[in-house]
Structure 1
Amino acid sequence: MQINRVALDLAKQLIQVHAVDLSGKVLVRKPLRRTQLLPFFRELVPCEVGMEACSGAHHWARQLQAMGHRVRLLPPQYVKPFVLGQKNDANDAAAICAAMSRPEIPAVTVKTIAQQDRQALHRIRSARVAQRTALVNQTRGLLAEYGLVVGRGRGTLRQAIPELLEDAENGLSLDFRQLLAELYDELVVLDARVEQLTGRIEQQVRQEPDTQRLMQIPGIGPLTASALVAAIGDATQFRNGRQLAAFLGLVPRQHSSGGKARLLGIHKRGDSYLRQLLVHGARSVLRTAANKPDDRSRWLVNLSTRKHRNTATVAQANKTARIAWAVLARNEPYRP
């Protein structure tokens, strides 16, 4: 019998393989080491291969596509309901194979090397920003233990630390002064690292037409434009702008029954980093909307008077995502 579908449950070393024929009969059910996976597929006639969209999935998808196989990356939340019995590698692979038979399950588009490079740049910058924020909070907390309260903000702390180190009458011991100086040096290094990574992102944005068009949209800056192109790639994978907004978690959750529709808050699925950037951009748009006479600004101001300010912010983020889809999918500039 010829293999029709192959499901892979990925891991670092052992990868579980579950292969079936056209009738659904199991032909292969065994684990393979990483070094054995590609030779296994070289011996197969091109078929459909399914994996969860998890760590390493895009790498394997590119390798298998180069061999002529058709690869489907499935969202893990849609695979979980197909697991029968207890959780183990064999049952997980069987669940992936069962989910592959459902064409209505949306597939994740395989990312290119360039997209992964850009996402890695954003992830590293985000991690450095989180480290810097943690360092600032830790330093302010330690100073408070000595009765020295520093105002909020990274800039305030950077300005205050040298003054505290020079003040001989503030009661700080020699040991803590040395620790405080080391924390200050670490903060300066993290600031420089974040600025360097931000500069690299801005340089990439200036060289690409897609990101240049996205930056014409109110509420989208260099970081958001770069992150959108890295996460979405080909916008035509979404049928319309609402699908992109749903992919980013900017549409309401639904809890309906008996024909009664009930809409809740946004479901917050998808890329939380990208959603955060869009919401921050929407806040800036809302802040300046009162001074602008265009229709979009009047709509936003009117909405903010009828609804909570956060509701209006998310509504603007949703609108920004839809406009971004139109700009990318239709390959045209933003029209105010």
Structure 2
Amino acid sequence: MKHYAGLDVSVKETSLCIVDETGRICREAKLVSHPDDLLAALNDPIWRFDRIGLEAGPLSQWLFSGLAEAGLPVICIETRHAKAFLKAQVNKSDRNDARGIAQMMRVGLFRPVHVKTLISQKRRVLLAGRKLLQEKAIAIENDIRGLLRNFGLKVGIVGVIGFEQRIHELVGGQPELAELMEPLLVARRVLREQFTQLHRKVLLLARESEVCRRLMTIPGVGPVTSLAFISTIDVPARFKSSKAVGPSLGLTPVLNQSGESHRIGRISLCGDEAMRALLYEAAQVMLTRVQKWSWAWAMQIAKRRGQQKAIVALARRLAVIMHRMWSDGTEFRWTREATPAAQ
């Protein structure tokens, strides 16, 4: 008899529910959220697992890897799809969620999520850490500007390199204020130095990657965007078509159709938010700063529906093009090459 398991994962404990092919509950337990503890409960020879499901979350990649390496048929399921299924339950609890996930595995009503490889996970940590340091440094700079403005001291437009010198010039005649600003400047300096260190690592990885170098032939796509794209997509072959990349990144409109009602809303905003923002920035550069232009359709969208919608549409097209370039091993070109005449 086949068995199915559902795992409702939290930081400390995981609720386990095992059901047979008829839907009867065979075992329920509370386990420590660690691969070894889960394996101890799931590797019992009395179970013949066909599918083991766990919801995508902060610990899902770690637990998925541990169970998959042990040969168990584990599946990571999409969060919003699981939430819609589990919402039908009257009482929300970890035990009931584990039961619901087990039943989803039994009837096959789930949407699997791709679990990224270890190298892609490490790249994403690098990009996330770089962005975090940059945001914190900018936040401190803005706070310093606001604090000095209370004393009538205006920093004005100044670059990253000249920012600290400008602050020293403003507070030079006020020793007490200079003493208060110094710790903030030290913190900002450390953040900028560490950000530079991670940014150099991003540049090095992008330079060493053949795929990144190829993607950077697209105007507006730099090392950060290219490295983020390959770490987000991870395995290009998991998409049957390049056109499927746009919906996976939340760049396609939501359709709401019922009877005679047919509404097309805003983009779904599902998938990786950071990657979506980088594609938006690249599309904005291509639409507003690149001199050479051959995609008149985007300009037509900007005239009819506004520049923001045109940038979103171009970002979606960029995602498709980048995936196709990665899959085919081709470089970016502005126009389609002429098809040779048939012999």
- The question of a shared fold, defined as TM-score above 0.5 by the shorter chain, is answered with yes
RMSD across aligned C-alpha pairs, in angstroms? 2.1
Q: Are the aligned partners of 2:19 and 2:103 in contact in 1 as well (CA < 8 Å)?
A: no
Counterpart check, 1:54 vs 2:65: no
CA distance in 2, matches of 1:217, 1:206: 15
Superposition TM-score, scaled by structure 2 size: 0.88
1:119 alignment counterpart: 124
How far did 1:304 drift? Answer: 2.3
CA distance in 2, matches of 1:232, 1:46: 30
1:6 alignment counterpart: 5
Structure 1, unaligned stretches of length 5 or more? none
Give the 5 Å matches for 1:253-332.
253-289=254-290, 291-293=291-293, 295-296=294-295, 298-332=296-330
Counterpart check, 1:69 vs 2:72: yes
Post-superposition CA distance 1:204-236 (Å, at most 9, x none): 112222222222233321111111111211122
Which residue of 150, 158, 165 corresponds with 2:155?
150
| Off by >6 Å, runs of 4+ in structure 1 | none
2:25 alignment counterpart: 26
What amino acid sits opposite 2:170 in the alignment?
L
User: Secondary structure of 2:270's match?
Assistant: coil
What amino acid sits opposite 2:92 in the alignment?
K
Give the 5 Å matches for 1:185-200.
185-200=186-201
Q: Are the aligned partners of 1:8 and 1:17 in contact in 2 as well (CA < 8 Å)?
A: yes
Structure 2, unaligned stretches of length 5 or more? 335-343
Moved more, 31-40 or 309-318: 31-40
CA distance in 2, matches of 1:264, 1:176: 52
Moved more, 20-29 or 35-44: 35-44
CA distance in 2, matches of 1:95, 1:321: 35
How far did 1:243 drift? Answer: 2.2
Q: Are the aligned partners of 1:3 and 1:27 in contact in 2 as well (CA < 8 Å)?
A: no
2:169 alignment counterpart: 163
How far did 1:119 drift? Answer: 0.9
Post-superposition CA distance 1:123-170 (Å, at most 9, x none): 11111112112111111110111111222565364342121133x2xx
Q: Name the % identity.
A: 27
Post-superposition CA distance 1:170-202 (Å, at most 9, x none): xx3x33211212222222221221111111011
User: Secondary structure of 1:261's match?
Assistant: strand
How far did 1:108 drift? Answer: 1.0
CA distance in 1, matches of 2:214, 2:41: 44
What amino acid sits opposite 2:183 in the alignment?
E
CA distance in 1, matches of 2:229, 2:264: 27
User: Secondary structure of 2:183's match?
Assistant: helix
Superposition TM-score, scaled by structure 1 size: 0.90
Indicate how the Cα distance of structure 1 residues 102 and 213 shifts in structure 2: closer, same or farther if over 3 A, else same. Answer: farther
CA distance in 2, matches of 1:103, 1:212: 41
User: Secondary structure of 1:47's match?
Assistant: strand
How far did 1:332 drift? Answer: 4.0
CA distance in 2, matches of 1:70, 1:161: 59
What amino acid sits opposite 2:225 in the alignment?
T
Counterpart check, 1:98 vs 2:103: yes
Post-superposition CA distance 1:9-47 (Å, at most 9, x none): 112222111111122221111111235212223324453
How far did 1:103 drift? Answer: 4.5
